[in-house]
């Protein structure tokens, strides 16, 4: 987005915000400032994404089941302090008119299961981020949604408002700790349509009293113009740490330092802390090169746990020294900790792999975003022991 266009969109959002000011239940829940997360006395977010499993084909393995309770306990034992839960709504294609709340299982059952999962997380001593996603039935990436003309955009925004407000009301009654108002909505959050999304955020504040965020794709951060409406900036942070195959750990670490610089600049620009809604690397050679590639489309994969672990370590080490960085959620563990059917061996999950040691050590480490608590330094000898 050109600077002039961004300025025009930002001005429109300010106007929308002012229009809502008279009936808004409150301003953002964090005080202004790039280090607001740390300054609020919170500890950095040590998070794991759990799921998503909502299908009746996986009976007894989804949110709210006994298996899910075991996953929550395992997450806590890994050192996590937060989990992310990811319900889905459906659009038919990339020119939608609304969102179907039903996904794989009846909507009422999904909400009941999610409520049970929230209780399980809280019982395990974990806070909960709720991240409603969109699934495009005919294929395509949600970032490329384009309903058409201005009237079509308003119709779509009305449908999306219903979807998000439904989950906002759920988040309020289920005592969810933080809510995302969207995920990877590039065409909605970075363009002249952004005031429509800003208006939805204001409505969500009427329904939900907790912290609000929005998860932009990693390469949309600078063009997203709704950050001022939110408490926390979130990114789906599949940053490439190198563009060359066979990169050394020092190469990857340099990439991690560059990511930390971008976090610092983004936080200072908007005076908001930055959270990574998702980080993840598949278990393959050159895991840090194009880390967003989905496991299901990979062919002739060379499985490499060491490469996955190095990528996690190279990204996290510089970030944990950044006070503007609020934390991260690892993508992902499944709701049944013993279910190996959800992805290939070269998939994203770090569970039972060398990368799990790095994640555990990062969770256990002292972060710049933490309040004053006694923790070890990252990386510990456990991680160093396999060559990082």
Q: What is the pLDDT of residues 338-351, one digit of tens each?
A: 877 788 999 999 99
Q: What is the predicted pLDDT for the residue at 342? A: 80
**E strands, 82-237, in order:** 82-85, 88-91, 127-130, 133-136, 178-183, 211-217, 232-236
Residues near 185 by Cβ (< 8 Å), separated by ≥ 6?
Answer: 134, 142, 143, 145, 197, 214, 216
Provide the β-strand partners of residue 218: none
Q: What is the predicted pLDDT for the residue at 353? A: 96
Residue with tokens 């459906």: 90
Distances (CA, A) of 70 to 64, 76, 286, 340, 347: 10, 10, 32, 15, 21
**CATH code (residue 47):** 3.20.20.80
Integer-rounded Cα radius of gyration of the chain: 20
The alpha helices in 273-386, defined as continuous H runs, are 305-319, 354-364, 381-384
Instruction: Encode the chain (388 residues) as per-residue pLDDT tens digits.
Output: 444 344 434 444 343 333 333 334 556 789 999 999 999 999 999 999 998 766 677 788 899 999 999 999 999 999 999 999 999 999 999 999 999 999 988 999 999 999 999 999 999 999 999 999 999 999 999 999 999 999 999 999 999 999 999 999 999 999 999 999 999 999 999 999 999 999 999 999 999 999 999 999 999 999 999 999 999 999 999 999 999 999 999 999 999 999 999 999 999 999 999 999 999 999 999 999 999 999 999 999 999 999 999 999 999 999 999 999 999 999 999 898 887 778 899 999 999 999 999 999 999 999 999 986 667 777 644 454 444 5
Backbone angles phi, psi at 134, to 5 degrees: -115, 135
Instruction: Check: CB of residue 306 under 8 Å from CB of residue 358.
Output: no
Cα distance between residue 136 and residue 92, in whole Å = 6
Q: What is the pLDDT of residues 70-88, one digit of tens each?
A: 999 999 999 999 999 999 9
Q: What is the predicted pLDDT for the residue at 340? A: 76
Instruction: Check: CB of residue 192 under 8 Å from CB of residue 5.
Output: yes
Q: What is the predicted pLDDT for the residue at 343? A: 87
Largest Cα span, the chain: 59
Instruction: From 99, 106, 103, select the one nearest 88 (Cα to Cα).
Output: 103
Q: What is the predicted pLDDT for the residue at 318? A: 97
Q: What is the predicted pLDDT for the residue at 3? A: 41
Question: How crowded is residue 315: how many other Cβ atoms within 10 Å of its Cβ?
Answer: 28
Q: Extract the tokens encoding 57.
A: 């084909």
Cα distance between residue 265 and residue 244, in whole Å = 25
Q: What is the predicted pLDDT for the residue at 246? A: 96
pLDDT, averaged across the chain: 90
* Calculated CA dihedral for residues 261, 263, 265, 269, nearest 10 degrees: 180
Domain of 285 in residue numbering reads as 3-384
Backbone angles phi, psi at 211, to 5 degrees: -70, 145
* Number of structural domains found in the chain: 1
DSSP 105: B
Instruction: Check: CB of residue 199 under 8 Å from CB of residue 156.
Output: no
Q: What is the predicted pLDDT for the residue at 54? A: 63
**E strands, the chain, in order:** 45-50, 82-85, 88-91, 127-130, 133-136, 178-183, 211-217, 232-236, 274-279, 325-333
Residue with tokens 């409150």: 26
């Amino acid at each position: 987005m050109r600077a002039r266009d961004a300025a025009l969109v930002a001005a429109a959002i300010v106007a929308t915000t002012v229009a809502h000011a008279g009936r808004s239940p409150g301003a953002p829940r964090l005080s202004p400032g790039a280090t607001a997360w740390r300054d609020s006395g919170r500890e950095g977010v040590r998070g794991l994404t759990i799921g998503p499993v909502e299908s009746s084909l996986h009976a007894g393995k989804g949110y709210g089941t006994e298996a899910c309770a075991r996953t929550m306990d395992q997450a806590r034992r890994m050192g996590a302090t937060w989990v992310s839960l990811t319900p889905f709504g459906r659009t038919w294609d990339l020119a939608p008119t609304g969102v179907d709340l039903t996904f794989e299982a009846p909507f009422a059952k999904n909400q009941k299961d999610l409520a049970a999962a929230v209780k399980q997380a809280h019982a395990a001593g974990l806070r909960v981020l709720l991240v409603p996603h969109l699934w495009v039935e005919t294929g395509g990436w949600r970032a490329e949604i384009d309903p058409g003309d201005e009237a079509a955009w308003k119709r779509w925004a009305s449908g999306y408002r219903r979807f998000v407000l439904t989950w906002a009301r759920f988040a309020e009654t289920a005592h969810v700790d933080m809510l995302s108002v969207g995920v990877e909505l590039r065409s909605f959050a970075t363009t002249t349509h952004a005031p429509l999304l800003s208006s939805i955020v204001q409505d969500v504040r009427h329904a939900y009293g907790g912290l609000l965020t929005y998860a932009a794709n990693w390469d949309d951060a600078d063009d997203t113009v709704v950050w001022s409406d939110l408490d926390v900036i979130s990114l789906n942070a599949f940053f490439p740490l190198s563009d060359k195959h066979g990169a050394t750990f020092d190469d990857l670490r340099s990439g991690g330092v560059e990511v930390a610089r971008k976090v610092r600049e983004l936080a200072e620009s908007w005076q908001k802390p930055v959270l990574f809604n998702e980080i993840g690397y598949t278990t393959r050679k050159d895991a840090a090169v194009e880390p967003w590639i989905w496991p299901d489309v990979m062919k002739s994969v060379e499985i490499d746990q060491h490469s996955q672990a190095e990528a996690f370590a190279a990204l996290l080490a510089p970030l944990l020294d950044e006070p503007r960085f609020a934390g991260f959620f690892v993508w992902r563990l499944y709701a049944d900790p013993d279910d190996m059917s959800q992805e290939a061996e070269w998939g994203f999950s770090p569970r039972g792999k060398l990368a799990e040691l790095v994640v555990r050590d990062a969770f256990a480490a002292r972060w710049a975003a933490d309040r004053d608590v006694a923790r070890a330094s990252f990386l510990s000898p456990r991680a160093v022991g396999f060559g990082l």
